[in-house]
Amino acid sequence: MNAIEINNLVKIYKTGTRAVKGVNLTVAKGDFFALLGANGAGKTTIISILIGLVNKTSGSVKIFNYDIDRQFDQAKRIMGVVPQEFNFHMFEKVQDIVATQAGFYGIDRVTALTNSEEVLKKVGLWEKRSSIARTLSGGLKRRLMIARALVHKPEILILDEPTAGVDVQLRFGMWDYLRELNAGGVTILLTTHYLEEVQQMCRHAAILKEGEIVRLDSVKNLNKLIQQETYVITVRNMQPLDGIQSYAPVVIDEHTLEVNLNRDEQLNDLLIKLIQNGFAVTDVHPKEHRLERLFLSLL
Amino acid sequence: MNSQWIAFQTLVRKEVARILRIWTQTLLPPLVTQTLYFIIFGKFIGSQVGPIHGISYMSFLVPGLVMMAVINSAYSNVVSSFFGAKFQRNIEEMLVAPMHEWVIVAGYICTGIMRGIVVGILVFLVSCFFTHPAIDHIGIVIMFIILTAAVFSLAGLINGIFAKNFDEVAMFQNFILVPLIYLGGIFYSILKLPVFWQNVSKLNPLLYMVNGFRFGFFGFCDVSVIFSAGLLIFLTLVLWQVNIWLLKNGIGIKN
Ligand SMILES: Nc1ncnc2c1ncn2[C@@H]1O[C@H](COP(=O)(O)OP(=O)(O)OP(=O)(O)O)[C@@H](O)[C@H]1O
Ligand SMILES: [Mg+2]
């Protein structure tokens, strides 16, 4: 069964902006799916339609086969949502925010309190349960958003740029947590600008450009699409380049070289050549993210 | 238990917590202003005004001033809470959940009525320092306080739904609610006005609320109590439907 099925989705805002222009998208149950796109591509609009914050202009959306035009209540019960911007009441207490959300989903008070305890512990906010939301740091506020989205134990978790403005350590922690949720069977759909995030976590990705999907594939295949990789090579001391001219190396500074390799060329061969020519290689790493390049080439 | 019922209870709990959390903005101000009215109008000016229908001016003021506080409290509770939720976007917590429109309307209205009643009782207690108000028909007093608070909670919700900024919240209160209140026969009996102005006054719905309420206290008033009650019930039903329709269509909330 598909977790999310979007057919011919169109959204034209009152201002006349055509934010989504006939999007078709299917997310399988259990998938970890990324929606990529530049600012204004329409990611938030699509997500807002899925969760009932924006009315669509036309097209259809099904969540676990529940059509949002006819069975939105059932659909809403199985979705958890982490919006792009903080949208909790800043002067309420952390646990109140989470337990209230559970109540809105129709979960009785006793269960709401135990569920909120469970998720707050999970995201490391239990110690802060009585703090006023406004006093949390930005990263903790993000975690609060995630806890709130999970309090009714949804089968689909939808996150709109969940790691924006989150430091590296917290981001990694969040990735682990999302992976764990996904391994536990929760289907995840997220939007992001961080391609690393997609490569690290997601199985499928759709690239959105000006309201249209320009590419939809597995992350594996998207990676394969890149024909060339630029490697940054750090050496102890620069040597004459004569022996490695066939690689057309570019000297960046006295310790750094850049080399383009085609996918059918071996990094191994290059390293051997370098050593034979007297280079002492101390580091080799890809210059940029492959997906980033693909992404840019599509935009 | 029914999930809509739980959602309703949750919303009421959240709203009551809000009223108590900011009690210095929700419960205290009407006490201060109404006390001033009792002192200035009732004591200073009232001493120069003769009795109305055989009732001292101070006592005559009590139902009107209680009603004024109820109206303001119910209205501002709903409009500021709902607009605040829109402004901070925490209204999305309700929109993403499978909550029916009537649950949202009912939740806000109930807490508007609750705040109206609490403030009404507090103002009534204050009046006891100035006079000895008697209540003739407690049932009618309760009915009018609830119906009036319901009408103004519903009106406040419409304002909150349409408002795009804080100015639009204040505008209705300043330019419509306040004149209606002052011209609604709180401070005078319209029977003392020239016939023309009596008829103009009868177009003001507040007149019926204040007078119905006053009937509960003294057993007399300027208009028909049955008509007043009927009008309030009618307004409640109409405004309820309007709110449900607005929310169903996402007016003002689902861009
Ligand atoms: N409420 C609105 N009214 C009118 N136009 C809007 C509204 N919200 C978004 N838009 C427009 O729709 C387009 C898509 O916006 P959207 O927020 O969906 O993009 P996004 O991909 O989420 O961008 P970002 O990465 O910046 O979050 C943009 O051109 C935006 O200006
Ligand atoms: Mg966005």
CA-proximal residue: ligand 1, atom 31 (nearest): A40
C-alpha–C-alpha distance, residues B125 and A222, integer Å? 73
Q: How confident is the model at residue A299, as a pLDDT?
A: 65
Buried b (16+ CB within 10 A) or exposed e, A55-79: ebeebebbbbebebeeebbebbbbb
- Options 1.10.3080.10, 1.10.10.10, 3.30.70.1560, 3.40.50.300; CATH for A228-298 is 3.30.70.1560
Q: How confident is the model at residue A66, as a pLDDT?
A: 97
Is the CB of residue B123 less than 8 Å from the CB of residue B159? no
Domain A1-78+190-225 listed as CATH 3.40.50.300: yes
Contacts of A51 in chain B (CB under 8 A): 95-96
Q: How confident is the model at residue A42, as a pLDDT?
A: 95
Contacts of B3 in chain A (CB under 8 A): 105-107
C-alpha–C-alpha distance, residues B20 and B17, integer Å? 5
C-alpha–C-alpha distance, residues A266 and B187, integer Å? 94
Is the CB of residue A7 less than 8 Å from the CB of residue A58? no
Q: Which of B243, B244, B73 is nearest to B149 (CA)?
A: B73
C-alpha–C-alpha distance, residues A85 and A3, integer Å? 24
| Calculated CA dihedral for residues A143, A148, A149, A155, nearest 10 degrees | 110
Question: How far does residue A74's CA lie from ligand 2's centre (Å)?
Answer: 25
Q: In chain A, where does the domain assigned CATH 3.30.70.1560 lie?
A: 228-298
Q: How confident is the model at residue B1, as a pLDDT?
A: 62
Q: What angle is formed at CA B157 by the lines to CA B152 and CA B161, rounded to 5 degrees? A: 150
Chain A residues with CB under 8 Å of a chain B CB are 13-14, 51-55, 72-74, 76-77, 79, 81, 83, 85, 87-92, 96, 100-101, 103-109, 112, 148
Which tens digits make up the pLDDT trace of A187-240?
Answer: 999 998 777 788 888 999 999 999 999 989 998 888 777 667 788 999 998 888
Residue ranges in chain B modelled with pLDDT below 70: 1, 255
Q: How confident is the model at residue A260, as a pLDDT?
A: 84
Question: How far does residue B157's CA lie from ligand 2's centre (Å)?
Answer: 29
Kindly report the nearest CA distance between residue B87 and chain A, in angstroms: 9
CA-proximal residue: ligand 1, atom 6 (nearest): A13
Q: In chain A, where does the domain assigned CATH 3.40.50.300 lie?
A: 1-78+190-225
The interface predicted TM-score of the complex, written ipTM, equals 0.92
Give the one of A14, A55, A89 whose C-beta lies nearest to B90's C-beta.
A89
Q: How confident is the model at residue A285, as a pLDDT?
A: 87
A76 to B13: CB separation less than 8 angstroms, yes or no: no
User: What Å distances lie between residue B53 and A102, B57, B218, B240, CA to CA?
Assistant: 56, 10, 10, 37
Chain B residues with CB under 8 Å of a chain A CB are 1-4, 6-7, 9-11, 13-14, 17, 21, 85, 88-90, 92-99, 250, 254-255
* Count of residues making up chain A: 299
C-alpha–C-alpha distance, residues B144 and B236, integer Å? 12
Q: Which of B87, B143, B79, B69 is nearest to B109 (CA)?
A: B79
C-alpha–C-alpha distance, residues B19 and A216, integer Å? 50
Residue ranges in chain A modelled with pLDDT below 50: none
Among A100, A107, A144, A148, the strongest candidate for a mutation testing the B interface, having the largest count of B CBs within 10 A, is A100
